[in-house]
Amino acid sequence: MAKPRASAAAAAAAAKAPASTPPKTVHSALVTYASMLSLLSLCPPFVILLWYTMVHADGSVVRAYEHLREHGVLEGLKAIWPMPTMAAWKIIFGFGLFEAALQLLLPGKRFEGPVSPSGNVPVYKANGLQAYAVTLITYLSLWWFGIFNPAIVYDHLGEIYSALVFGSFVFCIFLYIKGHLAPSSSDSGSSGNVIIDFYWGMELYPRIGKHFDIKVFTNCRFGMMSWAVLAVTYCIKQYEMNGRVADSMLVNTALMLIYVTKFFWWESGYWCTMDIAHDRAGFYICWGCLVWVPSIYTSPGMYLVNHPVNLGPQLALSILLAGILCIYINYDCDRQRQEFRRTNGKCSIWGKAPSKTTNGETKSSLLLTSGWWGLSRHFHYVPEILSAFFWTVPALFDHFLPYFYVIFLTILLFDRAKRDDDRCSSKIRFGLIGFNLLSLLYPTLTQMSQRCRQIVIFLVSSLIGEMIAGS
């Protein structure tokens, strides 16, 4: 992975621009500060509280609430918060060093990311799929040959999350200091506010040396890779406990592994998305990928370890096929857009020349408006949310908490859709006012209103019923 280089076309413009451009926020100052301070203060304890509820409180929000009410919030959190142990640190550093070595040493094709605001073109080595295969084969082989039992990871899960919470904070402080003292490229700068700089980040493409890209490591090789590793861990832990794996766990694990496989198959496309090409390396992205992804994204499987559900072959297969279909549609949406951009619009979408718009104000841009993207401005978010629902629904509806990731993902993607539209509106005047996520969801929910209402009512009533029973 080479250091981001300046493109010839953008070099002149970059020379006229200031060396460092402060990161911009897309919400009002009040919303921005409220969200930053809330996430900085609430996300770390929530990770521990979710682990405690899933593993030690039978997945019951009511039992966790009663614990906090009985002891007080601060004392209650202190009582359940595990201290990081040497075993936890060894697991984290062993995994991190292994993934860093694969990122640096495995062969891969050269890939150039999109031109940055300062005119730099980041260069990557696309070896994510190889790293993913090596990781899973190695992990399963260690278990199969009795060298390392993945159940140990589950047994130390609270300590691992605690270590990640504190260690990732320190890592984000390192990124903040590095952004001030030794930025890797001209795509860096301070807003003048310590909180914003720490939260949103100082650098767009921070690297250690010339070849180690920090965001690729945190987002892809640690965050997404740990998702797959933990999914396998939960499956093995249930087998170690019960001597078998329930079909609900098999469906959950299979769908999550298929989704993560899709991610690494398409990893170079991810390097062109908002996470890498527009969001800087700070708490929001890096702490989120190092801590939030391993803990929250895997939480349905964490719940199923101690709550095996027997779905039966027909229901299990139906959920599996529906989830695979959603994952494929999500992949095909991204594939169409990537191919459209790669060919500058000279490609075939569903057997036809793509329709597009190019009318821009400050920047000439191509916008795909056919294929899946002719249905909605952010259509790919719909199958992504449905995929998460299908790998969660094997847990059924005894408890509300396993569905937290689905709810979180929905809120995250709606916010991301707004941020993306706000960013694009500064470059291009869309002739497609109606093409947004709501334009798809509103008529769809209207047509399926009865069924959707039943699902929402069932989820809400499950939580209310649980709280009543607990009281």
Tell me the average confidence (pLDDT) per consecutive run of 10 residues in the chain, 471 residues long.
47 40 54 80 95 95 94 95 97 98 97 91 96 98 96 97 97 96 93 90 94 96 98 97 97 98 94 90 94 96 96 97 96 83 76 66 62 77 94 94 94 79 54 37 39 44 44 38
Domain identity same for 205 and 69:
yes
**pLDDT computed for residue 461 by the predictor:** 47
Domain identity same for 13 and 75:
yes
Among the three residues 274, 291, 310, which one is the final residue of a domain in this structure? 310
- Per the CB < 8 A criterion, the answer to whether 428 and 363 are in contact is yes
| Nearest residue to 262 (alpha-carbon basis) of 383, 163, 416, 103 | 383
Domain identity same for 288 and 391:
no
**pLDDT computed for residue 152 by the predictor:** 97
Specify the DSSP element, H or E, that contains 111.
strand 109-112
Domain identity same for 219 and 331:
no
Among the three residues 254, 282, 310, which one is the final residue of a domain in this structure? 310
Domain that holds residue 373: 311-471
- Per the CB < 8 A criterion, the answer to whether 199 and 36 are in contact is yes
pTM (two decimals): 0.82
**Cα(95)–Cα(64) distance, rounded to whole angstroms?**
31
**pLDDT computed for residue 351 by the predictor:** 72
**pLDDT computed for residue 128 by the predictor:** 97
Domain identity same for 3 and 39:
yes
Domain identity same for 283 and 162:
yes
Domain identity same for 135 and 263:
yes
Domain identity same for 360 and 283:
no
Number of compact structural domains in the chain: 2
Specify the DSSP element, H or E, that contains 375.
none
Domain identity same for 228 and 316:
no
Domain identity same for 30 and 127:
yes
Domain identity same for 264 and 353:
no
Among the three residues 289, 310, 331, which one is the final residue of a domain in this structure? 310
Domain identity same for 217 and 99:
yes
Q: Angle CA(385)–CA(204)–CA(379) in degrees, nearest 5?
A: 20
**pLDDT computed for residue 357 by the predictor:** 66
